[in-house]
A and B are shown apart, each in its own frame.
Chain A
Amino acid sequence: MSNICNNIGCSQEGLPEDGRVCSAAEELAALAQKAADDFEEMKGLAEAASKCLRGGSLTAKYALYRRLAHFSEERAAAGWAGSAESFRKLKTAAVRDAVAAFKKNFKAAAKSAGMSFSVLGTSPEEYKVGAFVVRPDFSEASAEVYYARCLLSSGVSLVPETLVAFLKRQADDMDGRFIELYGDADGQTGEDAEEKFRRCFFSAVEDSCRLMLKCRRRPFGERVPIHDVWALIMASCQDGKFAASGDTSGYREYSKAQMCWDISRLKRLGGLCRGGLRLNLGTATIGLTKNKDQVFWLDDGLGAGQYYYSVWFQSRG
């Protein structure tokens, strides 16, 4: 049990305000000791019975009989500390306390890192920290991290500070990922990173839509599945060898989660209008959301979100 506490960052030193976790763990440890003592006593009684039956005096036999009767009565009692039920109850209480302590510490760590924190569910535990959803597994002392309902990482340490640092790093990586992969041949001097992202990503989506609509002989402005745009942007994010000959040996991943991140970021940065065009996002119908591969979950920035299926451009003229 003390392992549970240590693995999720609830050591005694790290939990000055939460004595409950430690007391539960200590209680459980004491119970284990008691059970061990009980076992030793039982062994002693069995040995004594063995000797007594082989030729002990009547007094000794009577004393043994009384000890055995007392031992049996004690073990049969409902509240006997050594029963499996008592162990289970204490263990559940200890885990519950550890979870409560983790939640408290995790929330504090997220707040101090400037990230929003909310509890999405309790069974199983699920938290939303910043844009990410964290699903801890207390028995493994690790967590899974999701973005846009896509698994980003598993086996992340459950120590609150480490977990929050991981999420911060993940957010920074995802912010820079598109430009890192896509490059920026038309780079303009003095342009900040956000403007560069808005310009390049908007242009990548527009080019993809134009190509898809040309291929389908449809006019520019009609809807294009985000899935197709994602595929074409993924192709644009590959290295020079891929561009020159289609060689995928230097494959660079542009994940679905990253696509969702970039669309949400463009929206958040106010980059949906550019050069007389407005990029619109089409929500997915209930029927379409049945096929999760084809739809994209976009955060609304208010703790909720929605599935989207298509994009289309509209002239702002």
Chain B
Amino acid sequence: MTRLESIVRVKSDIVNNNSGCAAELSALLSSSEAAAKVLRKRQKALEPVLAEGASALGRVRFEAVPWNSGDAEAVRVLLKRELCGCMASFAAELAKALKQAGLPCTFLGTQESGNVPEAAEMHPEEPLTVRSGIIRAEADFALEKAVLFFCGVKCAEAKLGSAGELAEEIVDLTVRFKGGTVPADVMAGRLVLAASLSESAGDAFTVGGLWPVVHRIGLMAGGLGKSPSRAGLGCYSIFDYLAGVRNVILSTEASGGWVKASKSNAAVKICANPEDLSLESKVELRDE
């Protein structure tokens, strides 16, 4: 049974009042026949809320349902426990799948060690965030979607399925973005060119600030000039750019961070390590 199926089952349990946490809930209110009637009536009121799907579970506004605060809290605690258990088990499966694919896996926002978080560390309304090499993924159980980022830029979004599916997606994106197609010195040349055309004052250049100009250079180098069309416009994206910039960083590990730009007297340094590269990372230039 997948984690999502588990969540759906919890919802179903509550609606049908026949097992699991619903049984505990029933026990809470079974002290009198009148209480049971109230429960059935109020469960009916809850049905449309729950029918929105498993995603609504983490965000059900119990105060909107005519239960007393004690009942609401009891249900909330049960649901939280179930959801956190699902998330923890999802995290464990994801870590296992990534390990099998030979990729690192660090969970963010739960604990400093980055290890697979325990159920007690989870927050049902917060997405489970995992970093695997150059890709960061956010599994949002409340919205049932997984969003993947490369260098802080959203590069894919998918319906949240099993942990194995998410791991596959991470592996695919890692392969796609791992090596930029543009050599480091050529990329450095483009950054120097973009800086010389950039309107930003002084030397305060960032990776994101240089993107609009490098985008155009990349498009023309990629063949837009030969065929100005929709296909031509798709020949260079921000992910190609970031992969290229990452290439610049990787190529400078032996040279103190500076890369000589192709066909230029300038050198470029990206002030970030490959894992932390983002659009906000600073770009420094100097004459050689």
Instruction: Enumerate A120-140 residues with CB–CB distance to B below 8 Å.
Output: none
* B119 contacts chain A at the CB level, 8 A cutoff: no
Q: Across the interface, which residues of B come within 8 angstroms of A253, CB to CB?
A: 230
A251–B237 CB distance below 8 A:
no
* B173 contacts chain A at the CB level, 8 A cutoff: no
Q: Across the interface, which residues of B come within 8 angstroms of A225, CB to CB?
A: 225
B228–A246 CB distance below 8 A:
no
* B219 contacts chain A at the CB level, 8 A cutoff: yes
* B204 contacts chain A at the CB level, 8 A cutoff: no
B228–A231 CB distance below 8 A:
yes
Q: Across the interface, which residues of B come within 8 angstroms of A228, CB to CB?
A: 220, 225
A215–B217 CB distance below 8 A:
yes
Could you tell me the distance in whole angstroms from the C-beta of B208 to the nearest C-beta in chain A? Answer: 9
Give the most central of A230, A231, A254: most B CB within 10 Å.
A231
With A and B bound together, what is the CA distance between A23 and B88 in angstroms? 89
With A and B bound together, what is the CA distance between A228 and B220 in angstroms? 8
Could you tell me the distance in whole angstroms from the C-beta of B243 to the nearest C-beta in chain A? Answer: 12
B225–A234 CB distance below 8 A:
no
Instruction: Enumerate B175-199 residues with CB–CB distance to A below 8 Å.
Output: 193, 196-197
B196–A214 CB distance below 8 A:
yes
With A and B bound together, what is the CA distance between A243 and B215 in angstroms? 8
* A247 contacts chain B at the CB level, 8 A cutoff: yes
* A115 contacts chain B at the CB level, 8 A cutoff: no
Could you tell me the distance in whole angstroms from the C-beta of A149 to the nearest C-beta in chain B? Answer: 17
A217, A235, A247: the one contacting B237 at CB < 8 Å is A247
Q: Across the interface, which residues of B come within 8 angstroms of A235, CB to CB?
A: 215-216, 219, 224, 233
Q: Across the interface, which residues of A come within 8 angstroms of B238, CB to CB?
A: 244-246
Q: Across the interface, which residues of B come within 8 angstroms of A214, CB to CB?
A: 193, 196-197
B213, B220, B230: the one contacting A231 at CB < 8 Å is B220
Q: Across the interface, which residues of A come within 8 angstroms of B241, CB to CB?
A: 246
A210–B197 CB distance below 8 A:
yes
With A and B bound together, what is the CA distance between A202 and B197 in angstroms? 18
* A61 contacts chain B at the CB level, 8 A cutoff: no
> Chain A binding site: helix, strand, loop or mixed by DSSP?
helix
Q: Across the interface, which residues of A come within 8 angstroms of B232, CB to CB?
A: 231
* A211 contacts chain B at the CB level, 8 A cutoff: yes
* A87 contacts chain B at the CB level, 8 A cutoff: no
Could you tell me the distance in whole angstroms from the C-beta of B4 to the nearest C-beta in chain A? Answer: 28
Could you tell me the distance in whole angstroms from the C-beta of A186 to the nearest C-beta in chain B? Answer: 12
B234–A246 CB distance below 8 A:
yes
With A and B bound together, what is the CA distance between A211 and B221 in angstroms? 12
Indicate whether A211 sits within 8 Å of B237 (C-beta atoms), given known contacts A227-B225, A228-B220, A232-B220.
Answer: no
* A157 contacts chain B at the CB level, 8 A cutoff: no
Q: Across the interface, which residues of B come within 8 angstroms of A212, CB to CB?
A: 220
With A and B bound together, what is the CA distance between A298 and B135 in angstroms? 50
A246–B237 CB distance below 8 A:
yes
* B236 contacts chain A at the CB level, 8 A cutoff: yes
A251–B230 CB distance below 8 A:
yes
A211–B219 CB distance below 8 A:
no
Instruction: Enumerate A259-304 residues with CB–CB distance to B below 8 Å.
Output: none
Could you tell me the distance in whole angstroms from the C-beta of A313 to the nearest C-beta in chain B? Answer: 15
Q: Across the interface, which residues of B come within 8 angstroms of A227, CB to CB?
A: 225, 228
Indicate whether A248 sits within 8 Å of B230 (C-beta atoms), given known contacts A211-B217, A243-B212.
Answer: yes
Q: Across the interface, which residues of B come within 8 angstroms of A245, CB to CB?
A: 153, 237-239
Could you tell me the distance in whole angstroms from the C-beta of A181 to the nearest C-beta in chain B? Answer: 13
With A and B bound together, what is the CA distance between A251 and B219 in angstroms? 15
Q: Across the interface, which residues of B come within 8 angstroms of A242, CB to CB?
A: 233
Could you tell me the distance in whole angstroms from the C-beta of A2 to the nearest C-beta in chain B? Answer: 44
- Give B217's nearest chain A residue, CB to CB: A215
> B residues bordering A, Cβ < 8 Å?
153, 193, 196-197, 212-213, 215-217, 219-221, 224-225, 228, 230, 232-234, 236-241, 263
What are 22 contact pairs spanning A and B, CB under 8 A? A214-B196, A215-B193, A215-B221, A231-B219, A231-B220, A232-B216, A235-B215, A235-B216, A235-B224, A242-B233, A243-B215, A244-B238, A245-B153, A245-B239, A246-B233, A246-B234, A246-B236, A246-B240, A247-B237, A248-B230, A248-B233, A248-B234
Additional pairs, 8, CB under 8 Å, beyond known A215-B193, A245-B237, A245-B239: A211-B220, A214-B196, A234-B228, A242-B233, A243-B215, A244-B238, A246-B236, A248-B230
